[in-house]
C-alpha cells in the first residue's frame, strides 16, 4: 500500500489543513465584524431599546416574502415614555432576569433554548394575551405568579420563580424590545394580536 | 511486577493514573445526565411531577450540563491517557495536573449543588456570577467559568510542554492547536450583554465551534490513537487521515456556524453561507466511517480489544448519522424555518452527542480498564461470551436510536401543526404539544430512555468486572499494511 502520489501524502494534507483552517477563520472574523455592526442596538435589524415607546407590529413584507417587525405609532410601555437610557436600564433588568430565572431551559428565545414551553421571540405579539389593552398588566401578573393561572389543557405550568414587580416589568420590556428584532421571518406565518385602534 | 486481572495502578504510567480519575468522574456525571434526562422526560408526561421542587428547567439544565462536563472530562482523561505513550516522555507537571483535577472536580460539585438547591436568583449580575448564567449549555456561573479556563490552561500547558520535551508527533501537533482553540473559544461566552442578538451570536461561537469543530477534531485525534492501539494501523496512515479530517472538518465546520445565524437578527447573507458550508459538514464524517471500517476490515486486522473496537465503529456510524445525517436533514434555512426550536433539534442533539462523543469516550474507558488490569485479554471468548459489554452496547445504541426517532416523530407534529398550520402562535404550540401523535412520541422517548438506562447500568457493571481474574494477556494488534 505504499504510494507516492502527492494527493495521498502526509505533507500535502498537513499544509491543506493549515491553510483551510486559517482561511476559514479569517473569513469568519471578517463576517463577524460586519455582522456585529449590523446587529448592535440602534440598527434597522436590531432597534434601539427606546423602541418600547412605540407600537410593534409584525407584517408581511411583499418584497422579502416574510413577516417583518414594523415600528408603529407612539405607544409607550406602561403608559410612560422613557428616555434611551431609562429604556435600556429597564430592558437590561428584564434580560438579566430572564437569565437569572433560567427561562431558556424551558422556553426558546429567538428559537434557541428548551422546548418545554412556547417560544418567546414574539411573545409580546401573541394572541394569548387577549387584547392589546390588557396585555401589559396580564403579562406582569402572569410572570410574577403563573402557578395559579390558565396555561393549557395538558397541565404543564410555569412555576413561581420569585420575580418582583419591577423585574416582571423589565421582562415585559425585554420581550417587547425582542419582538422588534428582524429575525428574517422567524417565526413563520405568525398570527399577531389585534392592535388597531 | 503488577498482577494481571486486577486493577493495579502499577500497570499505568503517570498520565494514565490521572486519566482514570477523569474517567471515573466522567462516568459518574454520565449517570447523572441519564437520571436527570429521565426526570425531565417524565415531566412531559406528568407535568406535576416534582413541580415547584425540581422543575423541568432545573432537571434539563443538570441534564445538559452533566453532558458537557462529562464529555470534557472524558476528553481531558483521554488526552492524559495517550500523552506519555505518544510523546514518550513523562507528563511534565503531573502534580499540578492532579491538583487541578481535584480543584475542578470540587468546583463542578459546588456548581451542581447550587443548581439543585439554589436554582435561581434575583435579576442582577451577582446571580450570573454566583448561581446561574441562564444561557443554555454554558449555565455555569462566571466564577466557575474562570475556574474552568484556569484548569484547562493547566492541562494545555501539560500537553504542550510534555510533547515539546518528548516526541512531537502529528497527533501532538493537531491536539495542541485544537486544545488552544477549544479553550480560546470558551472565552467568547464569558460576558454579559443586554442585546440578545449579540449575546446569541457569541454564544454560538462557544457551542458550535466546540461541538461541530474543536470537539470533532479532538475525537479525530483520539480515533487516530485508538486505531493505532487496537488495530496496529501504521502512524503514517492515521496521521494522513487526521490531516484530511482536520481540513474537511474546519473547512466546513467553521463557516458552517452560519446555520445558527438564520433567525437571531443576523443579516440574510448567512442563509447562503450557513446553508452551503453546513451542507458540507457531513463529508468529513463519511470520511471517518470509511477510515475506520476500511482499516478494520480491508486490512484483515486483528484487534486487541473487542469492546473498544466495537465502540469505535459505533462512533464512526453514530457521528455520521447523528451529527451528519440528522444535522443535514434540517440545516438548510428553507427547512429550518419550520424545525428551528422544535423536537427536531432535540432529536438531532441526542443522536449527535451520543454518536459522536459518548461512544468514543466509552471506547477509551475499555482501553483504560484493559491496561489497568495489566494488559489483559479482551478479544473473543470472554467469560459468558462477553454478554455484558455486548448487551450494554446493544441497549445503549438501541435506546438512543429509539429516543431519537421518537423525538423526531414529535418534531414532525410540531413542524406541521404548530408551525405550518397554526402559524407559530402559542395556541399553535399547545395544539401541537397536546396532539396524540406528539404525546405518543414523548412516551416512546421515555420508554427508550429506560432501555438506555438499563444499558448504562450494564456498562458500569461491565467496566467494573471485565477482565477481573483474567490470566490471558492481550493479543498484540497486528495489521497487514
Instruction: Give the model's pLDDT for residue B356.
Output: 95
Contact A94, A173 (CB under 8 A): yes
SS3 B254: helix
Span A44-66, pLDDT tens digits: 999 999 999 999 999 999 999 99
* Residue A193 belongs to a domain: no
DSSP state of B452: H
Clarify whether residues A19 and A59 are in a common domain.
no
SS3 B37: helix
Q: How far apart are CA B77 and CA A83, in angstroms?
A: 53
SS3 B355: helix
Contact B147, B190 (CB under 8 A): no
Span B229-283, pLDDT tens digits: 888 888 888 899 899 999 999 999 999 999 999 999 999 999 999 999 998 888 8
pLDDT, mean of residues B365-387: 93
Count CB pairs under 8 A between chains A and B: 254
Q: How many domains does chain A have?
A: 2
Clarify whether residues A58 and A13 are in a common domain.
no
Q: What is the CATH number of the domain that holds A99?
A: 1.10.760.10
* Residue A60 belongs to a domain: yes
Q: How far apart are CA B51 and CA A161, in angstroms?
A: 12
Instruction: Give the model's pLDDT for residue B23.
Output: 98
pLDDT, mean of residues B386-404: 98
Clarify whether residues A30 and A66 are in a common domain.
no
ipTM value greater than 0.95: yes
Clarify whether residues A33 and A120 are in a common domain.
no
Least confident of A47-56, A57-66, B149-158, B471-480: B471-480
Q: How far apart are CA A72 and CA A132, in angstroms?
A: 14
Residue A113 has pLDDT above 50, yes or no: yes
Q: For chain A, percent helix, then strand, then coil, each to nearest 5?
A: 45, 10, 40
Span B352-370, pLDDT tens digits: 999 999 999 999 999 999 9
pLDDT band at B3 (very low <50, low <70, confident <90, very high): low
| Chain A partners within 8 Å of B117 (Cβ) | none
SS3 A73: strand
Instruction: Give the model's pLDDT for residue B124.
Output: 96
Angle at B140 between CA B258 and CA B406, to 5 degrees: 60
Backbone angles phi, psi at B53, to 5 degrees: -110, -65
Instruction: Give the model's pLDDT for residue B225.
Output: 93
Could you please report the per-residue DSSP string of A21-67?
HHHHHHHHHHHHHHHHHHHSTTSSSS--GGGGGEEEEEEEETTTTEE
SS3 B475: coil
* Residue A189 belongs to a domain: no
* Residue A44 belongs to a domain: no
Clarify whether residues A18 and A59 are in a common domain.
no
SS3 A159: coil
Judged by a CB distance cut-off of 8 A, whether residue B123 touches chain A is yes
Clarify whether residues A31 and A104 are in a common domain.
no
C-alpha cell at A41: 442596538
State the residue for C-alpha cell 416582571. Answer: A168
Contact B410, B441 (CB under 8 A): yes
Instruction: Give the model's pLDDT for residue B299.
Output: 64
Clarify whether residues A18 and A97 are in a common domain.
no
Instruction: Residue B382: name the closest of B467, B288, B310 by CA.
Output: B467
Residue B289 has pLDDT above 80, yes or no: no
Helix axes B170-186, A10-39, angle to 10 degrees: 10
Neighbour-count burial for B354-383, b at 16+ CB within 10 Å, e otherwise: bbbbbbbbbbbbbbbbbbbbbbbbbbeebe
| Mean confidence (pLDDT) of chain B | 94
Mutation choice for B interface testing from A38, A187, A188, A190 by most B CBs within 10 A:
A187
B250 vs A20, A163, A170: nearest CB:
A20
Helix axes B359-372, B56-87, angle to 10 degrees: 50
Say how many residues make up chain B: 481
C-alpha cell at A156: 404543564
Residue A24 belongs to domain spanning? 6-39
Q: For chain B, percent helix, then strand, then coil, each to nearest 5?
A: 75, 0, 20
Extended strands (E) in chain A: 54-61, 66-74, 108-109, 112-113
| Chain A partners within 8 Å of B269 (Cβ) | 31
Is the Cβ pair A13, B247 closer than 8 Å?
yes
Residue B302 has pLDDT above 90, yes or no: no
Could you please report the per-residue DSSP string of B1-35?
-PPTTS--GGGS-HHHHHHHHHHHHHHHHHHHHHH
| Chain A partners within 8 Å of B265 (Cβ) | 39, 45-46, 110, 181-183
Clarify whether residues A71 and A14 are in a common domain.
no
* Residue A197 belongs to a domain: no
> Quick one: CA dihedral A181, A183, A186, A191, positive or negative?
positive
Is the Cβ pair B426, A160 closer than 8 Å?
no
Closest CA of chain A from B119, distance in Å: 8
| Chain B partners within 8 Å of A182 (Cβ) | 265
Instruction: Give the model's pLDDT for residue B362.
Output: 98
Instruction: Give the model's pLDDT for residue B480.
Output: 52
SS3 B139: coil
pLDDT band at B481 (very low <50, low <70, confident <90, very high): very low
End-to-end CA separation in angstroms for chain A: 79
Clarify whether residues A78 and A100 are in a common domain.
yes
| Chain B partners within 8 Å of A173 (Cβ) | none
> Quick one: CA dihedral B55, B33, B342, A102, positive or negative?
positive
Contact B442, B42 (CB under 8 A): no
Clarify whether residues A76 and A20 are in a common domain.
no
* Residue A154 belongs to a domain: yes
* Residue A28 belongs to a domain: yes
Clarify whether residues A59 and A96 are in a common domain.
yes
Q: How far apart are CA B125 and CA B347, in angstroms?
A: 33
Q: Tell me the sheet residues that pair with A192.
A: A126
B430 vs A10, A123, A152: nearest CB:
A152
C-alpha cell at B198: 449579540
Task: Record the pTM.
Answer: 0.96
Closest CA of chain B from A183, distance in Å: 5
Clarify whether residues A15 and A53 are in a common domain.
no
pLDDT band at A2 (very low <50, low <70, confident <90, very high): low
Higher pLDDT, residue B430 or B298: B430
Residue B1 has pLDDT above 60, yes or no: no
Q: How far apart are CA B6 and CA B479, in angstroms?
A: 29
Q: How far apart are CA A36 and CA A33, in angstroms?
A: 5
C-alpha cell at B391: 448487551
SS3 A68: strand
Say how many residues make up chain A: 197
Span A134-191, pLDDT tens digits: 999 999 999 999 998 888 889 999 999 999 999 999 999 999 999 999 999 999 999 9
Is the Cβ pair B196, A157 closer than 8 Å?
no
Angle at B68 between CA B275 and CA B156, to 5 degrees: 95
Instruction: Residue B292: name the closest of B244, B347, B227 by CA.
Output: B227
* Residue A191 belongs to a domain: no
The B residues from 232 to 291 touching A (CB cutoff 8 Å) are: 236-237, 239-240, 243-244, 246-247, 250-251, 254-255, 257, 260-271, 273
Instruction: Give the model's pLDDT for residue B290.
Output: 79
Instruction: Residue A156: name the closest of A115, A96, A127 by CA.
Output: A115
Cα dihedral value B171, B175, B178, B184, nearest 10: -160
Residue A3 has pLDDT above 70, yes or no: no
Closest CA of chain A from B376, distance in Å: 32
The B residues from 173 to 212 touching A (CB cutoff 8 Å) are: 174, 192, 194-198, 200-201, 203
Amino acid at each position: 500500500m505504499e504510494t507516492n502520489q502527492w494527493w495521498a501524502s502526509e505533507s500535502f494534507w498537513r499544509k491543506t489543513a493549515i491553510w483551510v483552517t486559517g482561511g476559514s477563520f479569517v473569513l469568519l472574523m471578517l463576517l463577524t465584524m460586519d455582522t456585529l455592526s449590523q446587529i448592535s442596538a440602534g440598527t434597522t435589524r436590531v432597534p434601539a431599546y427606546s423602541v418600547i415607546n412605540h407600537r410593534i407590529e409584525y407584517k408581511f413584507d411583499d418584497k422579502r416574502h416574510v413577516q417583518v417587525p414594523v415600528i408603529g405609532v407612539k405607544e409607550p410601555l406602561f403608559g410612560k415614555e422613557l428616555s434611551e437610557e431609562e429604556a435600556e436600564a429597564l430592558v437590561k433588568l428584564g434580560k438579566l432576569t430572564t437569565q437569572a430565572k433560567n427561562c431558556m431551559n424551558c422556553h426558546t428565545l429567538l428559537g434557541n433554548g428548551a422546548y418545554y414551553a412556547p417560544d418567546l421571540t414574539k411573545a409580546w405579539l401573541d394572541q394569548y394575551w387577549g387584547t392589546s389593552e390588557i396585555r401589559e398588566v396580564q403579562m406582569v401578573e402572569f410572570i410574577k405568579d403563573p402557578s395559579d393561572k390558565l396555561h393549557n389543557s395538558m397541565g404543564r405550568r410555569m412555576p413561581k420563580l420569585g420575580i418582583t414587580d419591577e423585574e416582571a416589568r423589565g421582562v415585559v420590556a425585554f420581550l417587547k424590545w425582542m419582538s422588534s428584532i428582524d429575525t428574517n421571518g422567524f417565526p413563520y406565518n405568525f398570527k399577531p394580536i389585534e392592535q388597531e385602534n | 511486577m503488577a498482577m494481571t486481572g486486577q486493577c493495579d495502578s502499577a500497570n499505568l504510567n503517570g498520565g494514565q493514573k490521572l486519566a482514570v480519575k477523569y474517567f471515573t468522574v466522567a462516568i459518574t456525571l454520565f449517570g447523572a445526565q441519564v437520571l436527570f434526562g429521565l426526570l425531565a422526560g417524565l415531566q412531559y408526561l406528568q407535568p406535576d411531577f416534582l413541580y415547584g421542587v425540581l422543575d423541568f428547567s432545573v432537571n434539563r439544565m443538570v441534564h445538559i450540563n452533566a453532558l458537557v462536563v462529562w464529555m470534557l472530562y472524558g476528553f481531558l482523561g483521554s488526552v492524559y491517557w495517550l500523552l506519555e505513550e505518544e510523546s514518550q516522555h513523562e507528563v511534565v507537571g503531573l502534580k499540578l495536573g492532579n491538583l487541578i483535577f481535584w480543584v475542578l472536580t470540587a468546583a463542578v460539585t459546588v456548581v451542581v449543588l447550587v443548581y439543585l438547591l439554589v436554582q435561581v436568583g434575583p435579576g442582577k449580575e451577582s446571580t450570573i456570577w454566583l448561581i446561574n448564567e441562564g444561557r443554555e449549555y454554558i449555565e455555569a456561573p462566571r466564577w466557575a467559568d474562570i475556574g474552568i479556563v484556569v484548569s484547562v490552561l493547566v492541562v494545555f500547558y501539560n500537553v504542550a510542554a510534555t510533547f515539546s520535551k518528548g516526541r512531537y508527533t502529528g497527533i501532538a501537533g493537531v491536539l495542541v492547536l485544537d486544545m488552544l482553540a477549544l479553550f480560546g473559544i470558551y472565552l467568547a461566552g464569558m460576558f454579559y450583554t443586554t442585546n440578545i442578538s449579540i449575546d446569541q451570536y457569541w454564544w454560538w461561537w462557544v457551542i458550535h465551534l466546540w461541538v461541530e469543530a474543536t470537539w470533532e477534531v479532538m475525537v479525530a485525534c483520539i480515533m487516530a490513537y485508538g486505531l493505532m492501539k487496537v488495530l496496529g494501523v501504521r502512524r503514517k496512515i492515521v496521521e494522513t487521515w487526521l490531516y484530511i479530517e482536520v481540513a474537511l472538518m474546519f473547512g466546513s465546520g467553521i463557516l458552517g456556524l452560519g446555520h445558527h445565524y438564520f433567525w437571531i437578527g443576523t443579516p440574510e447573507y448567512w442563509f447562503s453561507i450557513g446553508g452551503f458550508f453546513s451542507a458540507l459538514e457531513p463529508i468529513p464524517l463519511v470520511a471517518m466511517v470509511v477510515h475506520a471500517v476500511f482499516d478494520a476490515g480491508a486490512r484483515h486486522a486483528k484487534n486487541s480489544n473487542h469492546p473498544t473496537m466495537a465502540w469505535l465503529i459505533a462512533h464512526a456510524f453514530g457521528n455520521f448519522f447523528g451529527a451528519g445525517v440528522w444535522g443535514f436533514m434540517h440545516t438548510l434555512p428553507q427547512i429550518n424555518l419550520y424545525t428551528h426550536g422544535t423536537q427536531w433539534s432535540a432529536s438531532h442533539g441526542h443522536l449527535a452527542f451520543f454518536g459522536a462523543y459518548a461512544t468514543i469516550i466509552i471506547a477509551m474507558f475499555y482501553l483504560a480498564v484493559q491496561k489497568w488490569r495489566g494488559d489483559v485479554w479482551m478479544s473473543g471468548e470472554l467469560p459468558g461470551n462477553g454478554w455484558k459489554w455486548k448487551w450494554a452496547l446493544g441497549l445503549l445504541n438501541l435506546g438512543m436510536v429509539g429516543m431519537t426517532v421518537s423525538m423526531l416523530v414529535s418534531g414532525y407534529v410540531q413542524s406541521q401543526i404548530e408551525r405550518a398550520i397554526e402559524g407559530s402562535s402559542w395556541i399553535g404550540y399547545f395544539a401541537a404539544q397536546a396532539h396524540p401523535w406528539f404525546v405518543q412520541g414523548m412516551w416512546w422517548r421515555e420508554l427508550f430512555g429506560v432501555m438506555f438506562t438499563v444499558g448504562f447500568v450494564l456498562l458500569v457493571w461491565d467496566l467494573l468486572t471485565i477482565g477481573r481474574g483474567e490470566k490471558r494477556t492481550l493479543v498484540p494488534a497486528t495489521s497487514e499494511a
